[in-house]
Amino acid sequence: MAPSEIGFVGLGNMGMAMARRLPAAGYQVVGYDASAEIMREIAGVDGFTPAPGITGLGTDVVMLCLPDSDVVEHVLLAEGLLDSVPAGGMVIDMSSSDPARTRALAARADEVDVTLIDAPVSGGVSGARAGTLTIMVGGPPEAFDLARPMLAAIGKRVLHAGDTGAGHAVKALNNLMSAAHLIVSSEALIAGRRFGLDPAVMLDIINGSSGRSGSTENKWPNYVLTEKFDAGFSIRLMVKDMRLALGIEHATGTPSLVSEAALAAWEAALGELPGDADHTEIARWLDRS
């Protein structure tokens, strides 16, 4: 399979940033989004063709960038996208989905001779624009080999995580760790500032020390100290991924005291912030407490 066209469903901030990488690699994108405004926008973008409808993509490969498993299942099953993919085709779910539900969808896809693999990403909107995303792929090795050139147009690191659902499992667990890093880093940096320390100086010290993380190296300097709070990933989606990760911990009998405490704190923030607030807003929420 060496498609010249790739269908892409879900052209929000993240999806559009990823899809824009494909024409530069020689692929024509047949795009679809539920937003009429986005569909009008892509009509004028080089390398993009608007699909006439969700079942009108007409491509052997379809990439999905959607909010969660509920939307993925609705698009594939209720709206008929899966049945419209040609036999022998492939669906690449780049959403942050539930790994158990992904496996069930892959079995449904197999019944109509379509391969469904999961390929969620890490790196945010900025990484999508720069083509530096890490892409973690779950699926049979032969499907990974077929998908890798297409995914390499979008991300810098394309890694085979294991069988179907493995990519979504790693993504959820990664985001649990990221969320825990961010909240404890924020608590420590806010405490330091209240003590009289300069947060920028603290970050300079910490980022050369054992307390460093993606939160201290990226999120705090670029989105919190600048007060931009626009990393491009909502607090609602972060909490969703944390719940998925905690479900994996519980299902495997893994101790989860710290994970449960982190989730409880994030859920408290979600209860007071709009669901579409950027997840870095949790630092400002903590500072008001």
Taking the chain, what is the end-to-end CA distance rounded to the nearest angstrom?
55
Does pTM top 0.85 for this prediction?
A: yes
Phi, then psi, of 281 in degrees rounded to 5: -60, -15
Cβ-in-10-Å burial (0-12, 13-18, 19+) of 116 comes to buried
Among 64, 41, 280, CA closest to 154: 64
Mean pLDDT (whole number) for 11-39 = 96
> How long a stretch of residues is the chain?
289
Look up residue 183 and give its two tokens. 């909240």
Name the residue with higher pLDDT: 44 or 49: 49
Question: Using one digit for the tens of pLDDT, what is the confidence trace for 138-151?
Answer: 999 999 999 999 99
pLDDT in the model for residue 191 = 98
pLDDT tens digits, one per residue of 85-104: 999 999 999 999 999 999 99
User: Sign of the C-alpha dihedral, residues 175, 141, 28, 114?
Assistant: negative
Catalytic residues: 171
The strand pair at 121-122 and 133-138 is best described as antiparallel
Strands 155-162, 121-122: pairing is unpaired
Strands 28-32 and 90-93: unpaired
| Mean pLDDT, range 13-27, rounded to an integer | 95
* CA 101, chain centre distance (Å): 16
pLDDT of residue 2: 61
pLDDT at 249 over 90: yes
Mean model confidence pLDDT for the chain: 96
Share of the chain above pLDDT 70, in %: 99
Distance CA 117, CA 105 (A): 9
Statement: residue 3 has pLDDT above 80: no
